[in-house]
Amino acid sequence: MELIDGKKVSDTVKQEITQKVTEIINNGGKRPHLAAILVGNDGGSITYVNHKVKACEQIGFTSTLQKYEDTVSEEELLAKIAEFNANNDIDGFIVQLPLPKHINEQKIIEAIDPTKDVDGFHPVNVGKMVIGLPCFKSATPAGIIKLLSFYNIETSGKKCVVIGRSNIVGKPMSVLLSQKGYPGDCTVTVCHSRTQNLAEECAQADIVIAALGSPEFVTKDMVKNGAVVIDVGTTRVPSDKTKSGWKLKGDVKFDEVSPKCSYITPVPGGVGPMTIVSLLQNTLDAAANK
């Protein structure tokens, strides 16, 4: 069993991006600039955004963090998005989700200029991804693809089961893995809450992508010997062993599943770190495409 070290891969990619930023600056170019809009005081959202800002500093990007109280109006957010769209110094920006209920999330997403939509959530980018055109790919699926290729994991003709059909992970993951080329050419099955015999489906898979958000859902009887298991779950569960009072749990029961795997991602330290570097990579691409 080999552990897929997301921290190591993300550090490698960050070094590559840092190198490219240095080249851009040495050639008289502009520092790539990622902006983020954060609404409210959700602990998870604040942590994610802070990680993103910190990562920008590490690799030499400019970053802007625009915070709002959760009472902010939709109009105010849309005005800020219009401002970021028009601001030539900003190469890409994100609006950290989820947003308060009084704000139409989809309207916010669609207000972002697709050429600056480095989260890859705009319908244009989702559509281009499905069609197989150049686009900003959603960060988590793009990160998983990078992990598979970094470890030279064979995908062509492999049976892949994606558990979960969310717009930000399950659906794009299934599309990317079934597309022509590497990493891709998998025979992909998407499983979800209505799937019958999910354990049986899963047990046939060469590659399992667990992205349902249910801690320790995938058990050893659901995984065949030698499978590659990618755990996208990051549920906060109470813990008396951490200062914060919680810890992250994946969708896979790691202790019992990992001995059966050829490769497996841990939680934390697997897919998580890749999500941020995909966002940075998208921002670098956005800057290059201008």
Known catalytic residues? 52, 96, 119
User: What is the SS3 assignment for 187?
Assistant: strand
Interface with a second copy, residue 126, by CB under 8 A: yes
* Distance, CA of 173 to CA of 236 (rounded, Å): 23
Interface with a second copy, residue 122, by CB under 8 A: yes
Interface with a second copy, residue 11, by CB under 8 A: no
Interface with a second copy, residue 131, by CB under 8 A: yes
Interface with a second copy, residue 163, by CB under 8 A: no
* Distance, CA of 14 to CA of 269 (rounded, Å): 15
Provide, rounded to whole angstroms, the least separation between the CB of residue 143 and a second copy.
19
- Reading the block at residue 181, the tokens are 């080329």
Interface with a second copy, residue 175, by CB under 8 A: yes
What are the angstrom distances between the C-alpha of 276 and each of 35, 141, 207?
A: 13, 11, 23
Rounded to the nearest 10 degrees, the angle between the axes of helix 170-178 and helix 139-150 is: 40
Q: How many CB atoms lie within 10 A of CB 165?
A: 18
HSE on the CB side for 18, CA within 13 Å?
A: 11
Instruction: Label the pairing between strands 33-39 and 62-68.
Output: parallel
Instruction: Label the pairing between strands 159-163 and 207-210.
Output: parallel
Provide, rounded to whole angstroms, the least separation between the CB of residue 271 and a second copy.
21
**Which residue among 30, 54, 102, 192 contacts a second copy (CB under 8 A)?**
192
Q: Where are the alpha helices (DSSP H) in the chain?
A: 6-26, 43-59, 74-86, 105-111, 123-131, 139-150, 170-178, 198-203, 254-257, 271-288
**Which residue among 58, 195, 235, 262 contacts a second copy (CB under 8 A)?**
195
Interface with a second copy, residue 211, by CB under 8 A: no
| Strand extents, DSSP E, 170-253 | 187-191, 207-210, 228-231, 235-238, 246-249
Q: Which residue has the tokens 């499983």?
A: 191
Which of the residues 232 through 251 are near a second copy (CB under 8 A)?
none
Interface with a second copy, residue 203, by CB under 8 A: no
Provide, rounded to whole angstroms, the least separation between the CB of residue 106 and a second copy.
7
Interface with a second copy, residue 140, by CB under 8 A: no
Give the nearer residue to a second copy in terms of CB position, either 92 or 164: 164
What are the angstrom distances between the C-alpha of 80 and each of 38, 64, 77, 120?
A: 12, 12, 5, 19
Interface with a second copy, residue 167, by CB under 8 A: yes
Q: Which stretch binds a second copy (CB under 8 A): 66-74, 89-97, 127-135, 282-290?
A: 127-135
Q: Which stretch binds a second copy (CB under 8 A): 42-50, 64-72, 152-160, 222-230?
A: 152-160
Q: Which stretch binds a second copy (CB under 8 A): 94-102, 189-197, 208-216, 231-239?
A: 189-197
Q: Which stretch binds a second copy (CB under 8 A): 46-54, 129-137, 217-225, 258-266?
A: 129-137
What residues line the site for a second copy (CB under 8 A)? Answer: 106, 122-133, 156-157, 159, 165, 167, 171, 174-175, 178-180, 185, 187-192, 194-196, 201
